[in-house]
Structure formats: C-alpha cells, structure tokens
Structure 1
Amino acid sequence: DEDDDIDDDDGGDDGSNSPDFEFPAASAAAAVAPVADPAGGIPVATSRPNPNPQESAPSESAPQIAPPGTLAHLQRLAAVATRELANLRNELAAERARVGEYSAKLFELRRSTRTMGETAHAKALA
C-alpha cells in the first residue's frame, strides 16, 4: 500500500516522546550528581583501602564517587540514564526523518513506474 503509515505508535501518549520530556527528579539529579566521564562510564568504588593514601590523594576538583546504593549514586545513575535516553531519542528522530524521506522517494518511484507502464500499454494498444 502506497500510503502505509510508518508510525507504529499505539495512540497512548505518556509524553515520553516529547523532546523536552524529563523523568521526574532528573533535573534535580543532574544538578546534584557529578558529570559522568566523556566515555559514558561510571567509576566504581573499590572496597580495598589504599595502602599509601598520601601518594594518591584525589585532587579537590575530582568528582567524589558515592558508594553504590546511596541516594547520590542513584541520582548519578539516573542523570546518566536520562542523558543516554535523550541521545537515543535524538537518534530515533533522525532515523524516522530518514525513513520518511525514503518513503516519499519510494512513493514517487512507484508513481512514475505506474505512469510509464500505463504509457507503454497505451502505445502498445494504439
């Protein structure tokens, strides 16, 4: 069918497809939580004490790593997940736009093919 709808939305809108949607408390988590490293990983705290704390004391500007399970750690995880979700939404929007372009091109190709076929058929009958 030439006018197939590529949007497979079930009609229920929870608002999460909106570009400015944020999970509850995500903005607060982003304000409280330190920024994740550029690679997207979250540093994991070690359970072994450092034998020479004077040699490798963290700088004052280094982000503090919250112990797993604490509110600060969970807020940081939520902030990272929210940023990743926003990136995925942007990628999905770009893919949908690309699919829309391909759909329009395919529609035009089908129309021109049909027209050429009808023209050839009319010439054959004449």
Structure 2
Amino acid sequence: MDDLNDKPEAQPKRTPERELIELYPNCFNLKKPRPLKVGIRQDLLAAGHASKLVNSVMYGYCQRIAYLKAMRIGTARIDLQGQPAGEVTEAAAIIARDELALLRPVKSSKPKPPHRNPHPF
C-alpha cells in the first residue's frame, strides 16, 4: 500500500454456511434468490454435507425477505446446479406470504389521536 488511505477490500466473513453457499453459486444467490427445489435439503445431505450445517443454511436462506418475495405461484424452482426443478405451488406461495407478513412490522390499527396545537391563537 503506497498511500495511507489505501485499504484492502473488506472480505465477507468466512463461515461454514458461506462456504456451503459458495459451493453452489448457480443455486444460492444472496442478492437475487430464486425458489429452491422441493427436497433440496436431501440433495445437500446426499452430497455429504453435515445435517446441522444444511439446516442452518436452509433456514437462513429461505427466511430472507428477498427469498420469501420470490416465492410466487408458478415461479420456477431450481436445483443445486440452477436448473429448473418444479414450480412454486399456490400453497407454498401462501405460506411464504404469511411468513413475510410475520417479518414485516405491523402497523397499529389503533387510530392516532388528533394533533393538538398547544397555541390555538
């Protein structure tokens, strides 16, 4: 580094979860997730990945707001290689919508009191 202001680029923290996600770049996309194949957890286990790690990755990935928004009826699901593997059903889309509603802040249904001007004149 020639200049005092030069800093090495920040690298994402290396975790087992991130490493597993990076093994399947055509499947896991943190910026623009696509619905995953039904049974993809079993595919990851069959590939030799530890159950605890797979569960952690699947939960963290599939509970993200962007993933839940991607779960729309008829949207293609993808396998580990990013190939089409089924479609999102109406039931799955409803579950995702309900999960998304739980993650979003709920606006109070209680009406706000009218604003009172402390200086009426």
**TM-score, normalised via structure 1 length:** 0.30
Under a length normalisation based on structure 2, what TM-score does the superposition of the two structures give? 0.31
Which structure shows the bigger proportion of residues in helix conformation? Answer: 1
Higher strand share: 2
Compare relative contact order (CA 8 Å, sep 6+) and give the higher one, 1 or 2.
1
